[in-house]
Amino acid sequence: MKRWQFWVGLVLSAGFLYLALRGLGINEIWEPLKTAHYWWLLPGVAVYFIAVWARAWRWHYLLRPVKAVSTRKMFPIVAIGYMGNNIYPARAGEVLRAVVLKRKQEVPISASLATIIVERIFDGVVMLGFVFLNLPRLATLTGTSGFIGNIQTLAIWGSVAFLGALAAFMLAAMFPTRAEKMSTKLIQIFLPERFREKVQEVICKFMAGLESLRSPYEAVMVLLTSVVIWLLETGKYWFVMQAFDFQVSFFALMLMNGIVNLATTIPSAPGYVGTFDAPGIAVLSAFGVDQGVAAGYTLVLHAALWFPITLLGGYYMLREGIRWQSGAIIEQGSAAVETE
């Protein structure tokens, strides 16, 4: 509660919630919620957990050059991480799963964080791919939905950022010697001498986490796995849609999935409150779905994405005996990096 990031996120979430729900009466949202067929959430949750297992396999694949850890052992750690992202600010769950992996498997945190960053870059590339597949509809979205901002421009700049980061990481992975020489020069220029050796050690371990990108085949495997993961998650969107009285195409749900997940990179309250809901409602409204129905569906979808993985991750976290304070998690991660 004392961290300024928490309050900034809370204000931004409140603003997005206002955008999402303005002009709607309680009854307009309650009616579709009251008549929804909630048993459709069961296959949706099942498909989502298959996607989480695929995420665990992808992380296992990325970490193979550092240490071989089975997907079965990765799955609880991934669940803890996604739980952490849902209840802690600033995506502290990413640090949390790196800390847990260090405790369980003795994998250096700097190396595991490198693989987590790679995951996020590939996720961003896939999300942008989902958006670009539906570019003709984005004009409708930005013109009539009331969602602030030009999504087409955002998609273009997002593509530059994510593809640029991916290119930089792949070049660093393919030419590690040159990358280390360049990092050494930058360290000598910008850091005091007493910090140089420690920072250089961390960078070397970080570079080890990029080894899985050294061949095009490995990069393509990670990309294809990322596509499968997000198609499975879109499958959850489809199953939850069956509970409500509207229909849009699977491609429309891919667009919604891409936009809401790009929007959740914006700082917000824990659980992506508002940043998930406002763009989700906007996309469905652009496809002609009644705003009250769109709001009810998006709120239920958000809850269905939040509760199951949070409960499972919380169970695994309690089993590991890890403290719940986000500050303690970040401090553990920082301390572990310093002592690697």
Query: Which pLDDT does position 74 carry in this prediction?
Result: 96
SS (H, E, C) 6-70: HHHHHHHHHHHHHHHHCCCCHHHHHHHHHHCCHHHHHHHHHHHHHHHHHHHHHHHHHHCCCCCCC
Measure Cα distances from 13 to 10, 52, 87, 91, 189 in Å: 5, 26, 14, 15, 40
More confident residue, 318 or 146: 318
Please say if the pLDDT value at position 70 is more than 50: yes
Q: What is the pLDDT of residue 155?
A: 67
Whether 269 and 288 have beta carbons less than 8 Å apart is answered as no
What does the pLDDT average to over 40-64? 96
Closest of 150, 144, 214 to residue 179, by C-alpha: 214
- For 245-291, write each residue's pLDDT tens digit: 999 999 999 999 998 998 888 878 888 998 899 889 988 988 889 99
Average pLDDT of the chain to the nearest whole number: 85
Give the total residue count for the chain.
Answer: 340
> Which residue type is seen at 175?
F
Residue 53 has a pLDDT of: 98
pLDDT value at 182 more than 80: yes
Cβ atoms within 10 Å, residue 159 = 16
Core vs surface per residue 309-339: b (16+ CB within 10 A) or e: bbebbbebbeeeebeeebeebbebbeebbee
DSSP state of 88: S
Q: What is the predicted pLDDT for the residue at 79?
A: 97
Domain ranges of the chain: 28-339
- For 277, the token pair is 């809901």
pLDDT of 147 above 60 = no
Cα distance between the two ends of the chain: 30
Residue with tokens 């955002």: 154
Name the residue with higher pLDDT: 137 or 172. 172
Say yes or no to pLDDT of 329 above 70. no
| Amino acid 148: pLDDT | 40
DSSP 149: S
Q: Are 16 and 274 in contact (CB under 8 A)?
A: yes
What is the model's pTM? 0.86
pLDDT in tens, 209-252: 788 788 888 889 999 999 999 999 999 999 999 999 999 999 99
Phi, then psi, of 261 in degrees rounded to 5? -75, -30
